[in-house]
Amino acid sequence: MVKEDFYSMKRNGKAISMVTVYDAAFARMAEAAEIDMLLVGDTAANVVLGMDRTAGISMEAMCIFTSAVKRGAPNTYIVSDMPFGSDSEPKIAVQNAMRFIEAGANAVKIEGLPLESLNAIREKGIDIVGHLGLLPQTATSFKQVGKNEEEAEKIFEQAKILDGLEPCSIVLEHIPDLLGKKISQAINSPTIGIGAGKHTDGQVLVMHDLLRMHPFKLPPFAKTFANFWEAGVNAFCNYKNWVNEK
Ligand code: KIV
């Protein structure tokens, strides 16, 4: 797939599936399932590295995850998340975006609207994915955003500005359904929701939530499609019993 394919999916009302992956094995699984877009999210900080916040992850780690995902899913569109601080200045943002492309990404995702950095990356011909609404890298609370008129209007205006940069898509995180719908109808770029209602042009979920890979409380918008936690613990117990029985 290329960027234009996602625009044509939007025009034709075909939903875009995106999931986060961080290694070759799960990327291979997602490619076998024909997921449209893989996101090497900075949630790797939480779900892979066990950190409290996404802001703790480095470019080096994100590049290692990106190249692993590329090896596992060589034929799927890969988006890599610019970690906290990696896009703070246009020159540095371009260098970091290029590192991701060299590691195998097709596009880079940036939280919020650092316009100069976004423009500089686009000028180099690199595809971008926007991310508006709840911005985990800088959020002080993980509650829904855009509930009051002023906040909703701000997110709507940001989406229109991002749309002008022709991003490959825009992730909308934890905003009211109606705002997700209003933005999706007003802009040309495909929108990918995570807790943004059912009217966005696609959906994204964190792999560890979707597969239920951990025992922790899930975010309110997460949906599970398997229980890898239970299956994994059972398998380890069975293995331990097998070893004990010699
Ligand atoms: O890093 C990530 O996994 C994300 C998703 C929550 C969209 O940005």
As for ligand 1, residues whose beta carbon falls within 6 Å of it are 20, 39, 41-43, 81, 131, 171, 194, 204, 206
Which amino acid residue places its CA nearest to atom 1 of ligand 1? 41
What are the structural domains, with CATH classification, of the chain? 3-244 (3.20.20.60)
For the segment 180-222, what is each residue's pLDDT rounded down to a tens digit? 999 999 999 999 999 999 999 999 999 999 999 999 999 999 9
Ligand 1: distance of its center to the CA of 78 in Å?
13
- Separation in Å, CA 159 to CA 118, 129, 208: 13, 11, 28
Could you please report the per-residue DSSP string of 2-60? -HHHHHHHHHTTPPEEEEE--SHHHHHHHHHTT-SEEEE-TTHHHHTT--S-GGG--HH
For the segment 138-167, what is each residue's pLDDT rounded down to a tens digit? 999 999 999 999 999 999 999 999 999 999
